Structure 1
Amino acid sequence: MPGAHATPVSECENTSVVGHILLPDDVRDTLADGLAELAGPPGDIDLAMTHYHQVFARLPLATLQQILDFGRHNDTPGALYIRNLPQDAQLPPTPWDGLPSRHKSTFVSEGTLLGLSGLLGEPVGFLTEKNGQVVHDIVPVKEGATTQTNQGSAVFLNFHNDIVHDRTGYYDIANPDFLVLNCLRADRAQAATTFYADARDICRMVGPDAIRVLRSPLFRMNAPGSYVREVAGDADVLSDPVPMIKGPAGFPEISSAANGVHTLSPVAETALALLQTACRAVAHEFKLRPGHALLINNRKGLHARSRFVGHYDGQDRWLQRTYVRRSQWQIRYRAVPGTRRIH
């Protein structure tokens, strides 16, 4: 099989934070043939993931290694953009309620999403996010248009990483290590833009004084909007005081809640404003189109989404998403007995 046009990390636009892969048509078609062998939706998720492993092992060696390295090394990019992936030949209308489509008759997009996810780790379903589904349908929902959630469209979705409410008081423990976004349908105006800002670039821009504050437990994260809406009756549920940045200077980990960060001092408020300004300054832009996927390291950086117009007429933007953990062992205290889902 001819090698894919996998851009070496050293040749990326920003060598430290973003990688790119463009699959040739013959590689795309080979993947599509393999995914067609699993005609139905993934029922037994473990069996389905094993099948997807076989399919994606057919990638050219250099491409396969680039994706695997993205998931396993500290110094690799925090975002990986892959284009010319297999697509469903026909799509039903975009779901209007954020639930899985009841009219989807082929499952190439799900196979593509889960195949890429399996190269990074294990996809996880949290009961407080999309009712524990492993595959999330990310679409504009009219009732949630102005919220800081995946249902929104009419407002800018703030720079954040995907966190998970946890009874320990720390929302960055059980959260996914990666998220994968696979585009099925673009918005009508093709205006929606996803942004990625890497912690390494953010730290370089805000400077050492702000970094010292951001590394101090002077911030409280609000729980995700879905948890606040569905579990807490729209009341804020704040974390314990935490830093926003932690870890070695060369490999910082960053955390920020889309649904709100509460500061505990004036200097923390100033540092948070500097961080948000830095995010906009260093962010990379991605206009996801059908056949495009964006893999994001949920610890190395923050992501955001622009405003776009939702029409709620079956032709709206439609992404599918997974949450991926390198291992579920550390969150076994949240396991739902007899299932692969997590509280």
Structure 2
Amino acid sequence: MTATVDRPLGAGSGTPASERPPTLGTVTLPDEVRDAIGAELAAMPDPNTDIDWAMARYHQIFASLPTPLLQQVLDFGRHIDTPGVTLVDNLPVDAGLPATPSDGGPSRDKASFVAEGVLLGLSGLLGEPLGVLTEKAGQLVHDVIPVEGGSKTQTNQGSEVFLNFHSDIMHDVIGRYDVANPDFLVLSCLRSDHEGIAATHYADARDISAALDPQVLETLHSPLFRLNAPGSYTRNMAGDAEVLSDPVPLISGSSECPEIAISANGVRALTGGAQAALDQLQGVCRSVAHKVLLRPGQALLINNRKGVHARSSFTARYDGQDRWLQRTYVRRSLWNIRYRVTSENRRVHF
């Protein structure tokens, strides 16, 4: 495992770091548990054939985790004071892995589905995986892979630029992009980048709020910002034009339990003071963030409301051996976004 933490906090007025709950957790599977789960996952078919049956079976398999580890994952999803990000280590992997798809996936050559089982099994402990038509065509398992044509974009296809701190959001006709968005993401590593330098960063809103000047924090709590729709939506649905949300705050809630929402594709500040606060926010995110270099057999559980995440730049070679992650969007419940569900698939939303 490679996971480093460097979080020098600024001079904010929030609770001292020593008195706040930890914002990064770790779960490591014993070898015998990894091997037992791996053997059961290796016998599973493509989960997309019958996703609800597959999710039920994954529940059975992951219930064999030692109770303290199982509780740690469950607590991550259900309590407000638990870490915003958790690294799960020593997970089973596929016995063989085909070339990394050059088009962003999915792979048509993958012969086993251990990675998908790991991803969906962990997701099922947090809630329900969902698909969004404008993100990876509604797939439940997203392949996060560098694509040559998108190398400089603020999307999951990018590699040459730092992917700014953001939440995973989705365009919504109600005007709010932070309502139907995922509660959690799960990121699982199938293959590292060539140099092993691609890092995932996570900045917890509790640490961010504590590090910000009170006046800046007050501005960020005001509805002075409009989120741009995700790059996948603007590229495919709007001719790359901005599609902005209603005015919203970027941080909401109490200082003990704040929620944060930032769009990767751009935030438009409505005043000069709001722009200055937005600029400070990105800098503070960098200063308080946890940094994780994911390796095969590792997954990140990410709370998409407690914090924001980013990705460092790296060199993609488009040679079949590039970085390959898989991702799920997870909701604790699909009920309160039922207005978005498609008639063809009850897990896939507009």
Percent identity reads 62
Question: What is the CA-CA distance between 1:230 and the residue it aligns to?
Answer: 0.6
Alpha-carbon distance in 2 for matches of 1:39, 1:228: 35
Distance (Å, rounded) in 1 between the aligned partners of 2:48 and 2:297:
20
The TM-score with structure 1 as length reference comes to 0.95
Q: Give the corresponding residue for 2:333.
A: 327
* 2:168/2:304 contact within 8 Å kept: yes
Count how many residue pairs are aligned between Structure 1 and Structure 2: 331
1:105 counterpart = 2:111: yes
1:316 aligns to what? 322
Per the alignment, residue 117 of structure 1 pairs with 123
Aligned runs of 1:257-268 on 2, under 5 Å? 257-268=263-274
- Does residue 185 (structure 1) correspond to residue 191 (structure 2)? The answer is yes
- Unmatched runs of 5 consecutive residues or more in structure 2: 1-17
The within-5 A match list for 1:261-276 is 261-276=267-282
Cross-structure match for 1:232: 238
Structure 1 position 207, deviation (Å): 2.2
Name the structure 1 match of 2:85: 79
Q: 1:167 aligns with which of 170, 173, 179?
A: 173
Letter of the 1:17 counterpart = T
Instruction: State which of 310, 314, 327 in structure 2 corresponds to 1:304.
Output: 310
For 2:210, the equivalent position in structure 1 comes to: 204
Cα displacement string for residues 57-77 of structure 1 (whole angstroms, at most 9, x for unaligned residues): 000000000000000000000
Opposite residue 18 of structure 1, the aligned amino acid is: L
Whole-angstrom CA distance in 1 between matches of 2:271 and 2:117: 47
Separation (CA, whole Å) in 2 of partners of 1:332 and 1:49: 20
- Deviation, structure 1 residue 274: 1.3
2:234 and 2:46 map into 1 onto residues whose CA distance is: 34
Letter in 1 for 2:114: V
Picking from 65, 73, 91, the partner of 2:71 is: 65
What is the aligned partner in structure 2 of residue 25 from structure 1?
Answer: 31
Provide Cα deviations, 1:194-253, integer angstroms capped at 9, x if missing partner: 000000000000121111100101001000000010111111101111100011221000
Partner of 2:14: none
Partner AA of 2:92 in structure 1: P
2:349 alignment counterpart: 342
Q: Deviation at 1:287?
A: 0.2
Contact 2:94 / 2:113 at 8 angstroms: preserved in 1? yes
Cα distance per residue 1:27-78 (max 9 Å; x no partner): 1011112212313343111000000000000000000000000000000000
2:182 pairs, out of 176, 185, 190, with 176
2:224 equivalent in structure 1: 218
Which 10-residue stretch deviates more, 197-206 or 41-50? Answer: 41-50
CA–CA distance in structure 1, aligned partners of residues 40 and 105 of structure 2: 27
RMSD of aligned C-alpha atoms?
Answer: 1.1
SS for the counterpart of 1:42 is helix
Show structure 1 runs of 4+ deviating over 4 A.
none
Higher relative contact order (CA 8 A, sep 6+): 2
Distance 1:168 1:179 in 2: 23
Once the two structures are TM-superposed, the CA of residue 99 in structure 1 deviates from its matched residue by 2.1
What is the CA–CA distance in structure 1 between the aligned matches of 2:211 and 2:328, rounded to whole Å? 31
Deviation (angstroms), 1:337: 1.2
Partner of residue 13, structure 2? none
Residue type of the alignment partner of 1:225: G
Q: Which amino acid aligns with 1:341?
A: V
